[in-house]
Structure 1
Amino acid sequence: MKNLEHLIRNANELNIRGSVYIPIKGFSLDSRSIGKEYCFVARKGAALDGHKFIHDAIDNGATSVLCETLPEELKESVTYIQTAQIGKTLALMLNEFYNYPSDKIKLIGITGTNGKTTTTTLLFNLFRQLGYKCGLISTIKYIIDQEVHESTHTTPDIINLYKLIAQMRDRSCSHIFMEVSSHAVEQERIKDLKFDIAVFTNITQDHLDYHKTFKNYIYAKKKFFDELKEESVALINTDDSNAKVMVQNTKAKVKTFGILNMADYKGKILENSFYGLQLKVNHREIHSSLVGDFNASNLVCVYAVASILGANEDEVLVHMSSLKSVEGRFDWYKNNNNSKIGIVDYAHTPDALEKILQTIQKLKQPQQSIITVIGCGGNRDKTKRPIMAHIAVSNSDKVIFTADNPRDEDPGEIIQEMEAGVDAILVQKYISLVDREQAIKTACLLSNSSDIILVAGKGHEKYQEIKGKKFPFDDMQKLKSFL
């Protein structure tokens, strides 16, 4: 608990109504989760305006309100802090409340359309093996040393993020590996956190339902690097054409990694099969059980981060060879009775889907067919639906379009929008089945001995989200039962 006066001592341009000599026990953006002597943060969001819930928050125990606009009715028992820079002010208050939690740990943030979850998880597992206590903040889960928590967002809201980092620091974590989404940058969820290393993996079409244009999406990612401090390191993937754009205005020291182009950490694929990769990084060889060119890039990135953090490179190489694939990322299973191979992957963007199908094409034998089961999420970027359908049909022998997480949309209509991307000469290669379980079952029935079935889009998720409810559904479980 700290006094409000202390929390706002470094903030400027505040319009304060009420006493600053009051205790603050916590913060919340949700009026329903307010506790006694909490500060309610009322800000305008994409879907809701927090100002509409100020009175509810006060009824639930809030004694202070941080807002952009003062309500018409002010209560004498409540302190109101009005500011035009609510993101900056909130970050200052949270840093004071949690004693600047990112200052005393190594914070590594990873952003990009694809590869964030795999890279953060591999780094977390690697540094655990190297003997460090670590924290993980990812799409799949949050981990404080060995304590696992369910993930709610790729990057939590700013209040929960600061709280989580403080908990990791208090549990003696020395390193935190976290995913940084474009939404998090745009919505100032990472405001004023001190990043030791910021990583850019790649950028391709995604989230245009939110950012509207690809240019806006690029600049949301770029903002992460624009705001780095001089003592930070920006690590970028030279194989991506937008990598240099990311660091045009950064103050951080720039380092590079890559497979195809020259880089400070240069990788080369020596072998690539279903049983793993053999790589050379800066003339040092690495063997990994991970599969595919995209994972080669992820592994080179992991090696680069470990090197920048000062880890012993010989130890890093030894432990990297034992790192396992992340759940739902090229997660494959072979039925030894019929030699059929099932693959589950989170690929939900055009680039990710194309890369995984290209990888399978490289790995498969001539007699093997590829059967892909794919859908597109509802209430998300509609423009990628026909593109993903085109990629699936162009790179597979057979395709089944099905439901993903339709959310509030009609899954049949989503599939129709996907079908619009299929060229007339390829229409015989696909069928559409709305029921995802039946789609997976049908794919297995259509397959012959040793064929490869890819179920894409949901990966690690153990549910289907339909009309606001989450119903249990596990792609890998279903695939194994039918394969």
Structure 2
Amino acid sequence: MNTYGLLASLKLKSIHGTLPDKVHSIEQDSRKVKQNSLFICIRGFRSDGHAFYSEALKKGATIIVAEEKLAIDHTKHALVIVKDTAKALAILANKYYNYPSKNMTVFGVTGTNGKTTVTTLINQLLQKNNQQAALLGTNGMQLLNESLESNNTTCDVLTNQKLLHKAANLGIDHMVMEVSSHGLDQGRLRGIDFDVVTFTNLTQDHLDYHKTMEHYGNTKGLLFAQLGNNLTQEKNAILNRDDPWYEVYNCMTPYEVISYGIYKDADFRATNITYHVDRTSFTLLSPEGEFTVTTKLIGEFNVYNTIASIASVYARGVISVSDLVTSLSDMDCINGRMQKLEIDAPITIYIDYAHTPDAIEKAIASVYPFKQNRILFVVGTGGDRDESKRPFMAEKASVADYVVLTINDSRYEDTSSILRDMEKGMQHNNYVLIENRKSAIVHVIEESEPGDIIIIAGKGLEEYQIIEGKKQPHSDKKIAVEKCAIKYNLNV
């Protein structure tokens, strides 16, 4: 790309040295720098990109963008000094990739729980109704027949623009994105032109980062502010009418709000809900009339997720509610989200991602309608993350008949301290502490009896654990299936 055209987007800057005519890539990771790259120094939480400019120069960078003067030979390289490299990166990345989000409909989904389920449902609803859609979130990017891994729910600003550009070039006209509070607070979504933004719910999580629920909630609200204020564009906010933050977010956008819920009057409302072990049915009241909805997802929280996804797709005015409801009937459950394992055993096992007090409470509540014997619950939490929620997670888990407290990802924290924090919240003596997650799963299945329901929570479909900063292979599902086969003499 022409260097002068690219840098013209930045107003507050000083240039030292002679700029090359072309820039062949923009990089913020010095390890990815190639010949004629522009390297931008970003101050992160764990490292400062200004410390790696020399490495970038050795690899062929011809332009360094920084917030301070650096020891650079201006006869060979150019230094561009800006006020804020994080904001400069968003501006440059959008310019370099030709503002890809403007060429597609972009859905953004935020909230404490339900983001992965709602985005997956939106993506599937679009695809089943002949729309070219892609998904970017916790499980990486689902782009046509290609899957790309991601380390975060919300990618960094440069990666987001690269992926949006790639999707646009492949003919994708609908992009569905999970939006985390960290991503919003750190500006990873700057420059993305959202068309529909959806709010699921707000409950305690990430207070190690946000410190207060007020800051956490207001950070989520940045997504609604990012819709903009240009009323010549047709945009919508989809809000949970039953959540206390509804009124706050309703005031944050000038665009039309479409509400959904169960208990309060809403544009999309579920009534006459019936729960089964492998499905849920309800009557949907909508702007286009009443419909009977059947989904393979279970639990009240998944009723919310289902109607949120219907309302989100409806907002674009391309697919009728009737067609959306029809599409839902043959859609599979969401992997790792209250996913019932298909095993021929006298027990029922669900794999779930629940790792907040609210999600744990709802996971257990979702199986109570068809409880035959006991509910056994494996619950873990992560190290080096929000410590304040640990006892509350255990407190919510206490309503199960038997609880196994374990670890999700210890990272660098001592596992015994994590378990002690959780143990403080236990309300009964119906529990055991097992640090090793595999051993915890093996134990709960060994303790099971015919008619029991087991929920293994905290990891979902993740196939690794982070221990001492390193990813180690681990699959809750695989361990559960293998142990179940041994205990109940199954052929798997």
TM-score (norm 2): 0.93
Give matches, 1:76-475, under 5 Å: 76-229=75-228, 230=230, 231=233, 232-282=235-285, 283-310=290-317, 311-333=319-341, 335-337=343-345, 339-365=346-372, 368-393=373-398, 395-423=399-427, 426=428, 428-475=429-476
Distance 1:269 1:481, change over 3 A: farther
Asked whether the 8 Å contact 2:19–2:63 carries over to 1, the reply is no
Residues 42-51 or 18-27, more deviating: 18-27
Partner of 2:487: none
Query: What amino acid does structure 1 have at the position aligned with 2:483?
Result: F
CA distance in 1, matches of 2:132, 2:405: 43
| 1:345 Cα deviation from its structure 2 partner | 0.3
Asked whether the 8 Å contact 2:125–2:327 carries over to 1, the reply is yes
| 1:402 Cα deviation from its structure 2 partner | 1.3
Asked whether the 8 Å contact 2:63–2:78 carries over to 1, the reply is yes
Asked whether the 8 Å contact 2:72–2:79 carries over to 1, the reply is no
Identity of aligned residues (%): 33
Distance 1:271 1:9, change over 3 A: same
Distance 1:342 1:84, change over 3 A: same
Partner of 1:481: 482
CA distance in 1, matches of 2:214, 2:14: 36
Asked whether the 8 Å contact 1:13–1:83 carries over to 2, the reply is yes
Asked whether the 8 Å contact 1:142–1:149 carries over to 2, the reply is yes
CA distance in 2, matches of 1:143, 1:62: 31
| 1:4 Cα deviation from its structure 2 partner | 1.7
Query: What amino acid does structure 2 have at the position aligned with 1:341?
Result: T
- Unaligned stretches of 5+ residues in structure 1: none
The alignment of Structure 1 onto Structure 2 pairs a total of residues equal to: 475
CA distance in 2, matches of 1:142, 1:223: 23
| 1:410 Cα deviation from its structure 2 partner | 1.5
| 1:75 Cα deviation from its structure 2 partner | 3.7
| 1:295 Cα deviation from its structure 2 partner | 0.7
Query: What amino acid does structure 1 have at the position aligned with 2:470?
Result: K
CA distance in 2, matches of 1:80, 1:225: 36
| 1:86 Cα deviation from its structure 2 partner | 2.8
- Unaligned stretches of 5+ residues in structure 2: 485-492
Asked whether the 8 Å contact 1:222–1:247 carries over to 2, the reply is no
4+ residue runs over 4 A deviation:
none
Residues 228-237 or 35-44, more deviating: 228-237
| 1:362 Cα deviation from its structure 2 partner | 2.8
What's the Cα RMSD here?
1.5
CA distance in 2, matches of 1:269, 1:102: 39
CA deviations 1:63-109 (Å, max 9, x no partner) are 11222222255543222222223333222222221111001101101
Residues 158-167 or 224-233, more deviating: 224-233
Query: What amino acid does structure 1 have at the position aligned with 2:109?
Result: I
CA distance in 2, matches of 1:141, 1:28: 20
Other structure's SS at 1:280 match: strand
Distance 1:334 1:142, change over 3 A: closer
Asked whether the 8 Å contact 2:347–2:450 carries over to 1, the reply is yes
TM-score (norm 1): 0.95
Query: What amino acid does structure 1 have at the position aligned with 2:62?
Result: T
CA distance in 2, matches of 1:332, 1:170: 37
Partner of 2:490: none
